[in-house]
């Protein structure tokens, strides 16, 4: 356990108490687990704290742990260009997955979140423009979910796809949730 | 610029200004691939730009979940197809971290050498393509001539000009071929003079300077906020290079400068890349001088095929291991890793979650071009349409990497 891990851990514990769980240090990255409602607060804290300064958001990544529950996960990779530290924030999400958007903290989060929405159907609440990014408008389903077949579903354009109708998820369609 | 649709703005109170919606791409030579930009124009000014991507989406990440780790290498080739060795290296490093192994020193030198060759090859294209976008065609033709030399060198090493797939987990596929050293030394002698030629050709071109200097300025704070990386970020004055700041492989044994500039405009981004090519030649020369003898692959028959095939032919256990490795791949311990390298376009990261099987549970590619392209939002507002082309060119996105 290095000095920086204990520093990051102490600062987070001072600010957030027991709510944020530490997942240890591996391969150069400190990992923490956070409940979804605290993600924006934690990101802002990590970015703005003068001793930490995690100002660079490397990546936001969706994960599907099907059939485990809670099924989904949003993983954030932050980097501190000043201190040369990296942090991973993991956020387990239920079904349907919803998490507040961090576009207010970093503008770069915009496309990362659109990608996670497109591929996993993770709804980032407060995102200014949550549209599909890779798949076309009107595409049904979320292709990187574990229960989505690799070759897609069979239709007239895709004769090699899996049998069966694509899952329609009215509550997760691109329209806003009431 | 294929079609122009007029928008009616009922609430517009200025009668003589009319905003038009312009569709640029997806088939357009200046968009560097299949990128479609929906532009809202206010006269000649760009009021809003909305990049539409995904025309090249191949589902690399989804595919990877059904491939063994060795089978994924050819997929990574096709991300940034201008510099496949860097992509191979990034992926191999991530898997090696999960396995807790390290490639032999000679293999690390070979990988770095190839990655730097790839960096030159990638930067050469943009060195020529940015002037081309602005109307100066000559530079691209010369850049392509030198790029051909790199292609020949890569072909000598791996047998393939573009999609080398030369890295393996725990080393590289083969040793360097006979006669390679004189060839690459010749390249290292010739190339710096050629860089001077490009400079003479482009850098004194007044039209090029007018079109790039002071255009598309990104401040350091904006660059970090927009997630820019690589030469794009360094051109804004942020001194950050993963090769130096989080050294991987043998970069800590090499001496090189990290090129930064303060202007943050299109010219600075172009200039950074030209300078980086010089540094890459220096790195390659040091690799050649320092390269030790020794194995090019780790000696672990459960992970890498044995170099000495006689072992397989004479020992039952070795034969079983060989069969196992070819048929099922090797198992990677449970865990997760995020490993980033300084690819020519910026921070190329692989986030791999392993569930203990021979296939990754989840592989996420942090593609630098994807993030860099997004910056087009923030930069081009209140620019001329023609300048937006310069900004797009200077950000140097490779659409295959953007779309994964």
Q: Which residues of A touch B362 (CB under 8 A)?
A: 61, 63-64
Q: Which residues of A touch B366 (CB under 8 A)?
A: 58-59, 77
Name the pLDDT band for A153 (thresholds 50, 70, 90).
Answer: confident
Looking at residues B265-293, what average pLDDT do you find?
Answer: 91
State the pLDDT at residue A78: 92
Cβ contact B353–A63 (<8 Å): yes
Name the pLDDT band for B104 (thresholds 50, 70, 90).
Answer: very high
The residue that leads in pLDDT, B8 or B260, is: B260
Looking at residues B181-199, what average pLDDT do you find?
Answer: 91
Closest partner residue to A108 among B226, B245, B337, by Cβ?
Answer: B226
pLDDT of B174 over the 60 cut: yes
pLDDT of A82 over the 60 cut: yes
What percent of chain B lies above the pLDDT cut of 90?
A: 36
**Which residue is closest to B222 within chain A, CA to CA?**
A107
pLDDT of B220 over the 70 cut: yes
Full-prediction pTM beyond 0.90?
Answer: no
For chain B, what is the mean pLDDT? 86
**Which residue is closest to B100 within chain A, CA to CA?**
A27
**Which residue is closest to B372 within chain A, CA to CA?**
A108
Q: Supply angle C-alpha B329, B330, B336, rounded to 5.
A: 120
Structure confidence by residue, pLDDT tens digits, A11-61? 888 888 788 888 888 888 888 899 998 899 899 998 988 888 888 999 999
For residue A29, how far is the Cα from the chain centroid?
A: 17
Q: Does residue B233 come out as left (phi exceeding 0), alpha (psi in the -120 to 50 range) or beta? A: alpha
- CB of B226 within 8 Å of a chain A CB? The answer is yes
pLDDT of B154 over the 60 cut: yes
pLDDT of B249 over the 90 cut: no
Cβ contact B62–A27 (<8 Å): no
pLDDT of B7 over the 50 cut: no
Q: Which H or E run contains A72?
A: strand A72-80
pLDDT of B352 over the 90 cut: yes
Tokens of B334: 């449970």
State the pLDDT at residue A177: 42
Name the pLDDT band for B282 (thresholds 50, 70, 90).
Answer: very high
Contact B321, B197 (CB under 8 A): no
Closest partner residue to B364 among A26, A59, A111, by Cβ?
Answer: A59
Cβ contact B66–A61 (<8 Å): no
Distance in angstroms (rounded) separating the CA atoms of residues B312 and B301? 10
A-side interface with B, Cβ within 8 Å?
A: 26-29, 55-59, 61, 63-64, 75, 77, 81, 84, 86, 88, 106-108, 110-112, 119, 132-136, 143-144, 150
């Amino acid at each position: 356990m290095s000095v920086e891990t204990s520093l990051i851990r102490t600062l987070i514990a001072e600010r957030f108490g027991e709510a944020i769980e530490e997942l240890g240090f591996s391969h150069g990255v400190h990992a923490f687990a956070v409940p979804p409602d605290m993600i924006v607060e934690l990101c802002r804290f990590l970015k703005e704290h003068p001793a930490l300064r995690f100002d660079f958001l490397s990546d936001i990544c969706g994960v599907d742990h099907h059939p485990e529950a809670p099924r989904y996960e949003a993983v954030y990779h932050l980097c501190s260009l000043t201190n040369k530290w990296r942090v991973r924030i993991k956020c387990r999400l239920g079904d349907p997955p919803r998490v507040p958007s961090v576009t207010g903290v970093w503008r770069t989060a915009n496309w990362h979140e659109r990608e996670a929405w497109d591929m996993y159907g993770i709804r980032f609440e407060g995102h200014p423009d949550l549209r599909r990014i890779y798949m076309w408008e009107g595409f049904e389903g979320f292709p990187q979910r574990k229960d989505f077949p690799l070759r897609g579903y069979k239709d007239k354009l895709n004769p090699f796809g899996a049998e069966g109708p694509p899952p329609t998820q009215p509550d997760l369609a691109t329209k806003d949730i009431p | 610029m294929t079609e122009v649709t007029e928008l009616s703005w009922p609430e517009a109170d200025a009668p003589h200004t009319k905003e038009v919606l312009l569709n640029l791409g997806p088939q357009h030579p200046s968009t560097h691939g299949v990128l479609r930009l929906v532009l809202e124009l206010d006269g000649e000014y760009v009021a809003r730009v909305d990049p539409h991507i995904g025309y090249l989406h191949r589902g690399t990440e989804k595919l990877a979940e059904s491939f063994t780790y060795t089978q994924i290498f050819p997929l990574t080739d096709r991300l940034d197809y201008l510099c496949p060795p860097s992509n191979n290296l990034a992926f191999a490093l991530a898997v090696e971290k999960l396995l807790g192994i390290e490639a032999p020193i000679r293999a690390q030198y070979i990988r770095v050498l190839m990655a730097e060759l790839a960096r030159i090859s990638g930067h050469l294209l943009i060195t020529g393509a940015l002037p081309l976008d602005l109307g100066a065609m000559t530079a691209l033709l010369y850049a392509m001539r030198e790029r051909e030399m790199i292609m020949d060198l890569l072909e000598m090493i791996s047998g393939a000009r573009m999609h080398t797939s030369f890295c393996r987990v725990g080393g590289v596929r083969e040793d360097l071929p006979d006669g390679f050293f004189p060839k690459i030394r010749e390249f290292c002698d010739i190339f710096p003079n050629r860089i001077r030629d490009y400079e003479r050709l482009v850098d004194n071109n007044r039209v090029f300077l007018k079109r790039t200097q002071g255009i598309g300025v990104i401040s350091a704070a904006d660059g970090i906020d927009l997630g820019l990386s690589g030469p794009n970020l360094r051109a804004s004055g942020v001194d950050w290079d993963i090769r130096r700041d989080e050294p991987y492989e043998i970069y800590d044994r090499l001496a090189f400068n990290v090129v930064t500039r303060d202007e943050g405009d299109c010219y600075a981004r172009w200039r950074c890349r030209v300078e980086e090519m010089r540094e890459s030649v220096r790195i390659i020369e040091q690799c050649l001088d320092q390269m030790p003898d020794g194995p090019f692959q780790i000696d672990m028959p459960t992970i890498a095929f044995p170099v000495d095939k006689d072992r397989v032919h004479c020992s039952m256990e070795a034969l079983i291991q060989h069969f196992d490795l070819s048929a099922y791949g090797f198992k990677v311990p449970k865990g997760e890793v995020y490993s980033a390298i300084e690819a020519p376009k910026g921070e190329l990261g692989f986030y791999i979650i392993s569930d203990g099987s021979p296939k990754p549970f989840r592989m996420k590619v942090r593609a630098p071009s994807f993030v860099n392209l997004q910056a087009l939002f923030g930069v081009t507002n209140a620019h001329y349409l023609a300048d937006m082309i310069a900004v797009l060119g200077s950000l140097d996105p490779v659409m295959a990497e953007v779309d994964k």
